[in-house]
């Protein structure tokens, strides 16, 4: 992988990695439902805010087999990477793909994610 590819990806600081972070966003965060996706947004307190939002993606087996799930995750990561600047800083975002996402396209998934991120707004 070239250096350019690494610069374009989502770094460790931009991702939710611990299960506790996913659960906190789902339990205490704001739920923003869409047709194919659900976004949970947990706004961090001022003293803990980071300059960028962190993202976590969940795609269950209900969406499809491993090939389909991985495709959906790639779509969501790439869509978010292109519009990460529109997400409010200091926010933990959990994106959950619904089973209908498997029958969608990248374009529709990206558009829906953009609409949901626009609805996140500020607390």
Tell me the domain boundaries of the chain: 11-120
Among 4-8, 74-78, 107-111, name the one with the lowest average pLDDT: 4-8
Contact 31, 40 (CB under 8 A): yes
| pLDDT surpassing 60 at residue 17 | yes
φ/ψ of 83, rounded to 5, equals -125, 20
Dist CA 96 CA 60 (whole Å) = 8
Residues 6+ apart with CB under 8 A from 79: 106, 109, 110, 113, 114
Least confident piece of the model among 3-17, 76-90, 98-112: 3-17
Closest CA to 24 of 56, 61, 70: 56
Could you give the CA distance from residue 31 to residue 5 in angstroms, rounded to a whole number? Answer: 32
Residue 88 has pLDDT above 90, yes or no: no
Q: Which CATH architecture has domain 11-120?
A: 2-Layer Sandwich (3.30)
**Of 121 and 116, the one with more pLDDT:** 116
Q: What pLDDT score does 112 carry? A: 96
Going by pLDDT thresholds of 50, 70 and 90, the confidence category of residue 104 is very high
pLDDT for 5 equals: 47
- Say whether pTM exceeds 0.75: yes
* Model confidence pLDDT, tens digit, residues 38-69: 999 998 876 455 678 899 999 999 999 999 99
């Amino acid at each position: 992988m070239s250096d350019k590819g690494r610069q374009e990806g989502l770094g460790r600081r931009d991702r939710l990695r611990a299960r506790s972070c996913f659960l906190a966003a789902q339990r205490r965060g704001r739920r923003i439902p869409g047709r194919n996706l659900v976004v949970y947004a947990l706004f961090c307190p001022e003293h803990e805010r980071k300059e960028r939002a962190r993202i976590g993606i969940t795609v269950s087996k209900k969406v499809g087999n491993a090939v389909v799930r991985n495709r959906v995750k790639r779509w969501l990561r790439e869509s978010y990477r292109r519009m990460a600047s529109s997400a409010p800083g200091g926010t933990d975002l959990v994106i959950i793909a619904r089973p209908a996402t498997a029958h969608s396209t990248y374009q529709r998934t990206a558009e829906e994610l953009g609409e949901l991120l626009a609805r996140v707004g500020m607390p």
